[in-house]
A and B are shown apart, each in its own frame.
Chain A
Amino acid sequence: MKLEMKDAPGQLVAALQPISEVGGNIIAVIHQRDEKAEDDRLGVQIVLEIPDDRLNELIARIKDKGVNVVRIGKRRLLYTQTVIMIGHIMHTDLGDTVDRIDRTGFAEVTDMNMVMPAINEPSSALIVIRAVDRNEMEQTMEILRTVAKEKDLLIIEPLEEIA
C-alpha cells in the first residue's frame, strides 16, 4: 500500500503502528523521498501481510493518525495448498469445478497436472490452490469437498500442520 504523510519526526512510526495492532506483518518499507509532493508531504510504500478481514480496520486506524492511504496494491494469495483429485474429472465438468473455487474471490486454482488413463478409468489430477490465508483455504476446501461429493470425486488433502 502507498501512504502519504507529513514529513515530520514520528510520523512514519505512527503510520506503521496500526499494522501490528491489527495482526499484520510488515515485509518492507520503501521511502520515496524523490517523489516529494509540493507541500511537505512524504510518500511511503509499505509491503505487508495482513488477514483480509482486517484490511478495512487498518485503513481506518492509519487515517486516524492523519496519514493518507493513497493506493492499495493487489492482494496476494499467500497460502498454498496442493490436493489430488481422483475420479471422472473431465466428465464431471472440470471447468465448473475450477470455477467454483475461482469465483470465491479469495482463492484460485493456480496450477493443475492431470493424468488421463484409458477411457472410462478414473483420472487423477494434482491441483494447486492459492488462497489469501489459512481460514479462507479451509473455506475453499469445504467448497471442494462439497463439489467432490456432488461429482463423486475423491479428494486427497495434505496432512496439515498439527493442531
Chain B
Amino acid sequence: MKIAILGMGAVGRGLLEMADKKDLGLVVTGIADSKSALMDKDGIHIDEVLEAKRVHGFCGDKSLSAVDIVSHADYEVLVEVTPTNATTGEPALTFIRSALERGKHVVTSNKGPIARKYSLLQSLAEKNGVSIRFEATVCGAIPVMHTLTQGLAGNRVLAVFGVLNGTSNYILTRMEAEGLTYEQALMEAREMGYAEADPTYDVKGIDAAIKLVILSNTIWGLDTVLEDVEITGIDCLTTDALRLADDQNCTIRLIAQSIPSRGVLRVSPRILPKTHPLVVEGTLNAVTIETDMAGEITMIGKGAGSVETASAIIGDLMFIRDHYAGRH
C-alpha cells in the first residue's frame, strides 16, 4: 500500500523506521518536513531519507513542500504527523482536506484538526468514499478508537473516563511517591524529556481536554469543542494534598470524564482509591469505557513515544488496507 508522510519528527521517524524494519507492505511514495519534501512513485529508500534528515536536518528537495506531496504524490493514504495546533488545526487541516478531496484516505496523530473539525472531515471522507482515522490522537499506543468503533460495536457507550495526559500523570506520581513539590516534579519531568519547555498544555489539563473532545465527538457524534470542557489543571496541587489523600489510602489523578446523559464534560484532579484501575504510574495512560452490554472496560498503556505512536498509526493503516482491499 502506498503512503505519503507529512512530518519527520518523533512520530514520523518512528513510523518510517518500523516501515523499513518490519514487513508491513508499506511503500512510502512521498515525505515532507517543514523545509523540504521528496516524492517517488516507485517508493522512497527509507534508510537514505532517515540518514539525510539526521545529517542535514531536512529530508529532501527544498523547492518542494508538503502541499506538493498532498496534491501530486502517488499515494493511497496520507499520514499526517505534523505539529498540533489546537486553535485552528492548521496547516494540517488543509493538508487533510485536500487529500480527502482527492479521494485519499487519511491517518493522523494530530489532535488539532480532529478536535476542531471532526464532523466536517468525516462527512468529506464519506462523500469521497474514503476514511479518516486517528487512533494515535488519543492514548498513544492504546487501541481505544478500534475498541470503541469495532470491538464494542453495537454497545451503547454511557461514559468515558481516563488518564489521558502522561506528563501530568508523571508529575502526580512523583509528588505522591517521593513527596516532591509540584515545581520539583515538573523540573524532573522536563529533564526526563516528558514535559515540553512550555508545559502549559499538559499541566493545565488542555491536552487531556482536547483528547476528551475527540473521544466524545467520535463516540456520540457530538460537536463539542475545547471551550465546552470544564478544565482544572494540576498546577495548583500541593504535596500536602497528596499526603492527605495517601492517609486515606487514596491518591490524586488528573481525570478526564465525559457523561453526556448528565452533562458532564470535565478534566480535573480527582481523589481515587489507590486500587482503582485508573490509578496508573508514571507516563502511562488509562481509559475506562462504560457500556450497556460489555459493562466497564479499562485499558492501560503507553500514551506517547515515537514507536508507540507509530504502532497506533500502523494499526489504522492495516485497517484501511484490509477494509478497502480490492477497491482500488
By a beta-carbon cutoff of 8 Å, the part of chain A in contact with chain B is 82-84, 86-87, 113, 115, 117, 121-126, 154, 156-159, 162-163
Contact = CB atoms under 8 A, between A and B. Distances in A.
A115 B240 contact: yes
Contact of B241 (A156, A157, A158, A159): A156
B37 interface: no
Interface string B124-157: 0000000000000000000000000000000000
Contact of A82 (B236, B271, B276, B278): B271
A84 B244 contact: yes
Q: Which 6 A-B pairs have the closest CB atoms?
A: A124-B240, A126-B244, A115-B240, A124-B241, A158-B271, A159-B270
Interface stretch (B70-78, B192-200, B245-253): B245-253
Given A157-B270, A158-B272, A162-B161, A113 B236 contact: no
B271 A159 contact: yes
15 contacts: A86-B236, A117-B240, A121-B238, A122-B238, A124-B244, A154-B269, A156-B252, A156-B268, A159-B257, A159-B270, A162-B158, A162-B161, A163-B159, A163-B259, A163-B262
Contacts of A159: 161, 255, 257, 270-272, 276, 278
A156 B271 contact: yes
Given A123-B240, A162-B159, 14 more contacts: A82-B248, A84-B244, A84-B271, A86-B236, A86-B237, A124-B238, A124-B240, A124-B241, A126-B247, A156-B268, A158-B272, A159-B257, A162-B158, A162-B290
Interface residues of B, number: 31
A86 B238 contact: yes
Interface string B33-70: 00000000000000000000000000000000000000
Contacts of B243: 115
B288 interface: yes
A159 B264 CA distance: 12
Contacts of B236: 86-87, 122, 154
A113 B271 contact: no
B230 to A, nearest CB: 10
A157 B261 CA distance: 20
Contact of A84 (B159, B245, B259, B296): B245
B232 interface: yes
A87 B248 CA distance: 20
A83 B252 CA distance: 11
